[in-house]
Amino acid sequence: MKELLTGNLPVSFLIGGREYHISSDFRAMLRLEEIFSSEELTDEEKAERALKLFYGCIPEPLEEAVDRLCYFWGCGRQEKKERAGGNGAAQPPIYSFAHDAGLIYGAFLTQYGIDLSRKSLHWWQLWRCLKLWRRTGC
């Protein structure tokens, strides 16, 4: 995650030899979360909407496009298939963007002076701040 220090956060990916600009703002990632958690959409519809939101189109090769999206979502790290929980079962997330929006907004405003309703913020920057916020218990 050295990119946070160097300022070289990803805003595009090379897929199939072609460069694709991505939606790197945290709002796009929140919309992706809504798409993936939707119970009304099929898996195919979720994938199509997610790729179009992230890239503005559906890049080829598809598998590479999906891998890059997952890499970005995980802030440059491959996510573990299962979270540690003793019995190997997936643990529920510690916070929810939908349910904790007010707390997250307030914390960013008071702790960092960032008004999330007015400022564009790269997903990786938001995620790093959230991890710090969760650790400090603010």
- Residue 96 maps to a domain: no
Residue 12's DSSP bridge partners are 21
Q: Which two tokens stand for residue 57?
A: 């189109």
Helices (H) and strands (E) in the chain, counts: 6, 2
- Residue 39 maps to a domain: yes
- 64 with 116, same domain? no
- Residue 85 maps to a domain: no
The pLDDT tens digits of the residues spanning 79-137 come to 544 444 445 555 566 667 778 889 888 888 998 888 999 888 999 988 887 776 565 54
| Boundary (domain end) residue, out of 73, 89, 119 | 73
- 64 with 24, same domain? yes
Question: Which amino acid is it at 62?
Answer: L
The pLDDT tens digits of the residues spanning 7-42 come to 689 999 999 999 999 999 999 999 999 999 999 999
- Residue 81 maps to a domain: no
- Residue 60 maps to a domain: yes
Q: Are 95 and 134 within 8 A, CB to CB?
A: yes
Q: Which domain holds residue 46?
A: 10-73
* Number of domains into which the chain is organized: 2
- Residue 5 maps to a domain: no
Q: Are 72 and 123 within 8 A, CB to CB?
A: yes
Question: Which amino acid is it at 12?
Answer: S
